[in-house]
Chains A and B, each alone.
Chain A
Amino acid sequence: MTQQAQPKAIYLDYQATTPTDPRVVETMLPYFNERFGNPHSVEHAYGWQAEEAVDAARADIAGLIGAQGREIIFTSGATESNNLAIKGAARFQREHFGKDHVVTVATEHKCVLESARALEREGFRVTFLPVDADGLVDLDRLKKALDQNTVLVSVMAANNEIGVIQPLAEIGALCHAQGVTFHTDAAQAFGKIPLDVDEMNIGLMSISGHKIYGPKGIGALYVRRRPRVRLTPLFDGGGQERGLRSGTVPVPLAVGLGKAAAIAREEMSAEAERLTGLRTRLVDGLRKKLEADGGTFEINGHPEERLPGNLNLRFAGVDGRAMIERLEERLALSSGSACSSAAVEPSYVLKALGLSEEEAAGSLRVGLGRTTTEAEVDAAVDALADTVRILRKDAKTASDAAE
Chain B
Amino acid sequence: MNGPVYLDYNATAPLRPEAREAVASAMDTMGNASSVHGYGRAQRARIEAARATVAELFGAVPAGVVFTGSGTEANNLALRGCGRTRVIVSAGEHDSVLAARGDADHLPLDADGLVRPDELQRRLADGGGDTLVSVMLANNETGVVQPVSELAAVAHAAGALFHCDGVQAAGRLPLDMEELGVDMLSLSAHKLGGPQGVGALLVREGVTLEAQALGGGQESRRRAGTENVAGIAGFAAAAEAAVAQMDEGARLAGLRDRLEEAALDVAPHARILGRNAPRLANTSCLALPGLKAETQVMALDLAGVAVSAGSACSSGKVTASHVLRAMGMDDAVASSAIRISLGWASRASDVDRFLAAWEPLARRVQAA
Contact = CB atoms under 8 A, between A and B. Distances in A.
Contacts of B119: none
Interface string B174-213: 0000000000000010100001111000000000000011
Contacts of B69: 75-77, 80, 217, 247
A247 B8 contact: no
B164 to A, nearest CB: 17
B30 A236 contact: no
B100 A43 contact: no
Range for the number of chain B residues in contact with chain A: 35 or more
Interface in B72-128: 72-73, 75-77, 80, 94-96, 99-100
Contact of A33 (B8, B20, B215): B20
Interface in B224-283: 224-231, 236
Nearest to B71: A247
A323 to B, nearest CB: 12
A11 interface: yes
Interface in A56-106: 75-80, 82-83
A235 B216 contact: no
Contacts of B146: none
B36 A334 contact: yes
A19 B27 CA distance: 8
A210 interface: yes
B41 interface: yes
A337 B226 CA distance: 11
B322 interface: no
Interface in B33-86: 34-42, 45-46, 49-50, 53, 68-73, 75-77, 80
A150 to B, nearest CB: 22
B307 A341 contact: no
Q: What 5 A-B pairs come out closest when comparing CB atoms?
A: A238-B313, A339-B216, A217-B228, A111-B215, A250-B197
A46 B306 contact: yes
Nearest to B99: A236
Interface stretch (A1-9, A123-131, A381-389): A1-9
Interface in B298-344: 298, 300-301, 305-309, 311-316
**Contact size range, A:** 35 or more
Contacts of B316: 40, 42
A390 interface: no
A215 interface: yes
Contacts of A75: 69
B35 A341 contact: yes
A395 interface: no
Contacts of A253: 195-197, 228, 231
Contacts of A217: 69, 197-198, 228, 230-231
A46 B45 CA distance: 35
B15 A41 contact: no
B197 A328 contact: no
Contact of B215 (A2, A4, A37, A339): A339
Nearest to A46: B306
B361 interface: no
A237 B39 contact: no
A237 B75 contact: yes
Nearest to A187: B226
B96 A238 contact: yes
A7 B216 contact: no
Nearest to B314: A238
B32 interface: yes
Contacts of A216: 226-231
A247 B225 CA distance: 17
B149 interface: no
Interface in A1-40: 1-7, 9, 11, 13, 16-20, 25, 29, 32-33, 36-38, 40
A235 B32 contact: no
Given A83-B214, A234-B212, A43 B297 contact: yes
21 contacts: A3-B42, A7-B39, A41-B308, A43-B298, A76-B228, A83-B224, A216-B231, A234-B76, A235-B72, A235-B76, A236-B100, A237-B96, A238-B95, A238-B314, A239-B99, A239-B313, A246-B96, A250-B198, A252-B196, A332-B38, A338-B32
Contact of A17 (B14, B31, B308): B31
Given A234-B213, A237-B99, A13 B37 contact: yes
Nearest to B214: A114
A115 interface: yes
Given A6-B39, A40-B313, A115-B214, 8 more contacts: A13-B39, A20-B30, A43-B298, A46-B4, A216-B230, A238-B313, A253-B196, A339-B224
A332 B30 CA distance: 12
A32 B20 contact: yes
A279 interface: no
A32 B195 contact: yes
Contacts of B220: none
B153 interface: no
B29 interface: yes
Contacts of B36: 324, 334, 341-342
Contacts of B31: 13, 16-17, 332
B127 to A, nearest CB: 28
Contacts of B27: 20, 25, 215
A45 to B, nearest CB: 6
A44 interface: yes
Contact of B53 (A1, A45, A250, A339): A1
B48 to A, nearest CB: 10
Contact of B312 (A5, A9, A41, A82): A41
A21 B263 CA distance: 49
B354 interface: no
Nearest to B236: A1
A4 B99 contact: no
Contacts of A13: 31-32, 35, 37, 39
Nearest to B216: A339
